[in-house]
Structure 1
Amino acid sequence: MDWYSTVKFLHIVSATVWVGGGFTLMLLGVLADRADDRENVMFIMRTVAQLGNKLFAPMSILTLLFGLVMAWFWVGFSNLWIVIGLCGFAAAFLTGTFVFKPTADKMLALIEKEGVSPAAMHLARRMLAFGKIDYAVMLVVVADMALKPTLNDTAILGGMVMVLAAGVAMALGGARRLSPAHA
């Protein structure tokens, strides 16, 4: 096995843990919210908050570092798909730093003070809404890494824009509740 394959493997493993773990928790949170299961929503959002600095941030940094190593030594930085990937990472990093972390900290403080209050649920739902946008960005980055589009790949680039728009629409659309017959 050569160095490129090793670094690429580590890049993919880091990204899988980061993106897959976060996506699973976000999906569980959305399903709990749709079922109006507030205790479960809060449990999942507390888990997200606890894993943010311990798992998701380190895995995201490792994903970036391994990707930068591959670009620096083997691929270069001029390809569109590299630029899209770096922009996606920047968007996810900024969302985590300036939305998820402070919102989670406020939510945890409220839970400590008041328990599962309407204000704490509001913050949990805010995290879920931003999570929908964040994971639309992640889906675009995963597609970007797999498909490696150029400026000539208008269908792929258009699909990426549509995925981002769908993520924003789902975040702004609020939570649909499951009817009691389906809960």
Structure 2
Amino acid sequence: MDFYSLVKFLHIVASVLWAGGGFVLMLLAVRAERAGNIDGMLQALRSIGELGNRLFAPMSLVTLVLGLIMCWFWVGFRDLWIMIGLAGYATTFLIGVRIFQPTGDRMAEMIARDGVTPAALEQGRRILKVARFDYAVMLVIIADMVFKPTLSDVSVLAAMAVVIAAGAWAAFGNQRQAVASAA
């Protein structure tokens, strides 16, 4: 076994723990919400919050660092698929720091202060909506790492764009309908 294979293996393991673990917990929260199981939804969201700083954030950083090591020593930074991967990582990182963490903290504070209120539940639902987009981005990152598209891979790039658009619609598209229905 060479050093590159070891770094690549650890990169993949870290990415599976980061993306896979979070996806399963998000899926549990969405299923609980759809079933009307508020306690189940809150438990899944609490788990996401607890594991966010202890597992998901560290594994995302390990994934990034190992990917950067592979680029530095073997692959380089010029290929389109590297740029897409880095842009995707930056997107998910910013979503975590700017939306998931503060919204989760706000929800936990509201629950600690007032109990489970409609306002606190709305914070949890906001996390689940944005998570749909976040995981669309992660799916594109994974596809990007597998297919390694170039500018001539129009069908792969188009499919990635469709996944991002579908994730954005799933996360944010229904808000217009909700606002129109409320009016």
* TM surpasses 0.5: yes
Give deviations 1:148-175, integer Å, cap 9, x for gaps: 0000000000000000111111113559
1:105 aligned counterpart, secondary structure: helix
In structure 1, what is the Cα distance between the partners aligned to 2:5 and 2:44? 35
Count of aligned positions? 175
The aligned counterpart of 2:5 is: 5
User: Shift of residue 36 of structure 1?
Assistant: 1.7
CA contact under 8 A between 1:107 and 1:123: conserved in structure 2? yes
The aligned counterpart of 1:148 is: 148
User: Shift of residue 6 of structure 1?
Assistant: 0.3
The aligned counterpart of 1:133 is: 133
The aligned counterpart of 1:181 is: none
Higher relative contact order (CA 8 A, sep 6+): 1
Identity of aligned residues (%): 53
CA separation of 1:163 and 1:30: change in aligned 2, threshold 3 A: same
What runs of 5+ residues in structure 1 fail to find an aligned partner? 176-183
Alignment of 1:72-151 (within 5 A): 72-151=72-151
Give deviations 1:33-70, integer Å, cap 9, x for gaps: 11121111111111111111111110000000000000
2:39 aligned counterpart, secondary structure: helix
Which amino acid in the other structure matches residue 33 of structure 1? Answer: E
CA contact under 8 A between 1:10 and 1:66: conserved in structure 2? yes
Higher helix share: 2
Which amino acid in the other structure matches residue 6 of structure 2? Answer: T
The aligned counterpart of 1:65 is: 65
Superposition RMSD on alpha carbons, in Å? Answer: 1.1
In structure 2, what is the Cα distance between the partners aligned to 1:171 and 1:143? 20
Moved more, 149-158 or 109-118: 109-118
Which amino acid in the other structure matches residue 163 of structure 2? Answer: V
TM-score by length of 2: 0.93
1:113 aligned counterpart, secondary structure: helix
CA contact under 8 A between 1:42 and 1:116: conserved in structure 2? no
